[in-house]
Structure 1
Amino acid sequence: MKKISVPSLWLMIILVAFPQISETIYAPSLPDISSALHVSSNATQLTLSIYFIGFALGVFCWGWLSDLIGRRPAMLWGILIYGIGSLLCYLSTSIELLMISRMIQAFGASTGSVVTQTILRESVAGHKRHAMFAQISAVIAFTPALGPLIGGWVDQAFGYRAVFFTLIAMSIGIFIYAFTALPETRTVTTINKINVFQVLKRIITDKKVIAFSLLIGGTNGILFSYYAESPFIFIEYFKISPGLYGFLGIIVALASIVGANISKRLLPIYKPEKIIYIGCLVMTVGAIVLTTIILNGTSPNVFFATAILAAVFIILLGIGVALPNCLSLALVNFQDVIGTAGALFSLGYYIVVSLITWGMSQIHTGSLLAMPLYFLVLAFFMTIACRIFIYPSRLEKAISFKI
């Protein structure tokens, strides 16, 4: 059998990271977009939820197509559609057109997530795969922060439309890089085993896979809900500039990087399942701390803002510890249909992300307390789900064995 080519690590990082940059790059522009298009802040936050709806549809389409036409063609077509969507965002003159354009943009961008993960899962195995997911997670932890940093300064200097022009240029560069450097990793064996409904049945009857979907969707939902809500907290309440807001993202992203590195160092000591549980506990503690700080906050000063960032740091630290292991373990029993399984699995957890970011837009009232309470509820239920389905206690294991 022909040996599968392993793509460049940097190419994999870029392909899996650009969708996150596209999601967060215009977060600092949300207040400006509300003003320019004469709509409420809730409506502009909905463009983030819409993004994940398009993303969820896209991951299913591109994951399935990657089994049929190959990983490389699916990636290139997706990047092309992403570029078209970015152009339409630039040309949008109403919130309705912007939402449609964001869906198209997200539909194309999703290929970077699902196809890249498929390539990694089929070209790298075992402990090396866990370590590579952790390494990639540590590097791309900067991407949600890089987006606001770039977007904040571009918006401040040239206006929010220039942010979408930046994405057009980025799509061209990524397409050229992928076209020249991305090998095909799909095998003939994969082509002959595609049955979407059978794969779907296997997934929905696997309790662990469902739990992983909820955990991955939940952690990403918290992350992107933060980027949806935080511009209104820091730019409107604390009165900082969009450019300075972008720098705050770097501080917060360090938490994800540290968390991913901790996860990698814990792998020789603990099983990945236990590391996931540790990450969930850290998230919950961080949400409790954030809620407590805001309940006791007084006025929009630098000490209050710093305390909020410190609590968010703890939450994202937990995400950085848990997420790489969730991604690595989720589909270990689906190697025979990894493209289609990855498509269905990603569809599920991005629907969760979309619902959570939509929920954030619905409870947005201008109150600082909305976000921490929302995060606390989400982190608590994810910890419980992890304890039941991913890392059960000895007592639960014994009861399950007897049954």
Structure 2
Amino acid sequence: MEKSIEKNQKISLALLVCLVGFPQISETIYTPSLTEIAQNYSISLNVAQMTLSVYFIAFAIGVFCWGIGSDYFGRRKAMNLGLVVYIVGCVLCALSKNIEWLFVGRFVQAFGASTGSVTTQTILRDNYQGNERHQLFAKISAALAFSPAIGPLIGGFLGEFYGFRAVFISLVIMGMGLLFWSLKKLPETGHFATKPVAAKQVITVGKSMLFDRYTIVFGLLIGIFNGILFSYHSEVPTIFIEKFGFTQSQYGFMGLVVATATMFGAWLSNRALHVLKPELIIQRGIQLALFGTLWISLTTVIYFNLVVQISLYIIGIFILLAGIGMALPNCLSLALVKFAAVAGTAGAWLSLGYYIVVSLCTLLISMLHNGSILVLPIFSMVLLMMALGSIKTVIRHQ
């Protein structure tokens, strides 16, 4: 079987990190500006938060389409075409005159951005094998921990000093830079000596996954954990800006808490793998996250001065996100073990499913928003209890 590039040809790690990371930056970069967006369009903050849900609905559709499409017309074309669509979406967001057009722009933006997630992972699987591939995934995962930190940090400063439209203009510039870099340096890595996956096989794989309890549980868990993470990005900016009196740029530094907590959770997971099965590590991670939600709740019902309350709240957020960081990598590792022979197609279905869950979570948190600090911890607690029950079911049937 021929390859379009030599087996051992290396692709720039920096390029791959940027391509897989820019969707997360695009999601989180404008969250510090949600209050400004609500004021600019004369809408409630609940409606402004729904732009997050629109993003994930489109992202869910996109990862499925680009995942399957890259088998038909190539990884390179899928990446570059997706970047073009992404740039168009960013332009629509920057030029939007009302919330309806912002919704349209966010949908187009997310649909294009999703190629960065699914196509980059496919390229890695094409061109690297064995331990080398595992090491690259580990390096990229570590780099990705900082994507949610970079977004709010940049977006906070741009939003505060230049307005939210400057945030979307910066994404246009980023998208054009990535497109130029990809056109220059990204080779085709797909194997096209064989016929691409037939539509009938795609449907067959989807049906098999739908009726496999093991796969459904881990897909649900991935959706819940990511749903909590991005519900945090939806809800917490208004808490820090409106309740705690932070500026947009000051809130941007909270992204460092997210990155540090995620990496600490991943470190705990790696340590635990020497003595525990992945399923038990997931359970421990959920329990740690539940403790974090309880900690956050207590900071709201016990009287503290503002500085102490902010400090305790940040500690609670760290514990919650560390627990998720501990559980999530193991869910991703286990989700498709029964579909290794059709990993590309199965990955497209899995991504579609869990991003639908994420979009529902962000939609629900926007509907529940009432300005109370308690909304996020209680919302997260309910989801984590569901997750705990699900993983216990898996453990019992082993």
Q: TM-score interval w.r.t. the shorter chain?
A: over 0.9
Mapped pair 1:203 → 2:209: yes
Mapped pair 1:360 → 2:362: no
How far 1:9 moved relative to its partner? 3.0
Residue matched to 1:345:
350
User: Is the alpha carbon distance of 1:121 and 1:269 closer, same or farther for their aligned partners in structure 2, counting shifts above 3 Å?
Assistant: farther
Mapped pair 1:253 → 2:259: yes
Residue matched to 1:99:
103
Q: Distance in 2 between matches of 1:139 and 1:345?
A: 23
> 3-state SS of the aligned residue for 1:334?
helix
Q: 2:308 pairs with 294, 303, 308, which one?
A: 303
Cα RMSD after superposing both structures: 2.0
Matches within 5 A, 1:176-215: 176-188=180-192, 191-194=195-198, 195-215=201-221
> 3-state SS of the aligned residue for 1:188?
coil
Structure 2 contact 148–258 (Cα < 8 Å) conserved:
no
Mapped pair 1:377 → 2:382: yes
Residue type of the alignment partner of 2:178: I
Tell me the percent identity.
48
TM-score by length of 2: 0.92
Residue type of the alignment partner of 1:252: V
Matches within 5 A, 1:71-86: 71-86=75-90
Structure 1 contact 89–164 (Cα < 8 Å) conserved:
yes
Residue type of the alignment partner of 2:345: T
Residue matched to 1:285:
291
How far 1:6 moved relative to its partner? 5.7
**1:324-345 CA-partner distances (Å, limit 9, x unpaired):** 2222332234344333222111
Q: Distance in 1 between matches of 2:225 and 2:194?
A: 30
Residue matched to 1:144:
148
How far 1:187 moved relative to its partner? 2.0
Q: 1:41 pairs with 41, 45, 62, which one?
A: 45
Residue matched to 2:222:
216
Residue matched to 1:329:
334
> 3-state SS of the aligned residue for 2:337?
coil
Mapped pair 1:50 → 2:50: no
Residue matched to 2:324:
319
> 3-state SS of the aligned residue for 2:336?
coil
How far 1:110 moved relative to its partner? 0.6
4+ residue runs of structure 1 moved beyond 6 angstroms?
Answer: none
**1:322-372 CA-partner distances (Å, limit 9, x unpaired):** 222222332234344333222111110000000000010010011111111
Moved more, 129-138 or 309-318: 129-138
Matched residue count: 392
Residue matched to 1:110:
114
Residue matched to 1:242:
248
How far 1:36 moved relative to its partner? 0.9
**1:31-63 CA-partner distances (Å, limit 9, x unpaired):** 111111111000100011111111111111111
Q: Distance in 2 between matches of 1:329 and 1:128?
A: 20
Mapped pair 1:156 → 2:129: no
Moved more, 131-140 or 354-363: 131-140
How far 1:113 moved relative to its partner? 1.2
> 3-state SS of the aligned residue for 2:22?
helix
Q: 2:14 pairs with 10, 18, 21, which one?
A: 10
Residue type of the alignment partner of 2:389: I
Mapped pair 1:175 → 2:172: no
Structure 1 gaps, min length 5: 398-403
Q: Distance in 2 between matches of 1:26 and 1:69?
A: 33
Structure 1 contact 27–148 (Cα < 8 Å) conserved:
yes
How far 1:131 moved relative to its partner? 5.2
> 3-state SS of the aligned residue for 2:109?
helix
**1:132-168 CA-partner distances (Å, limit 9, x unpaired):** 4443222211111211100000111111110000000
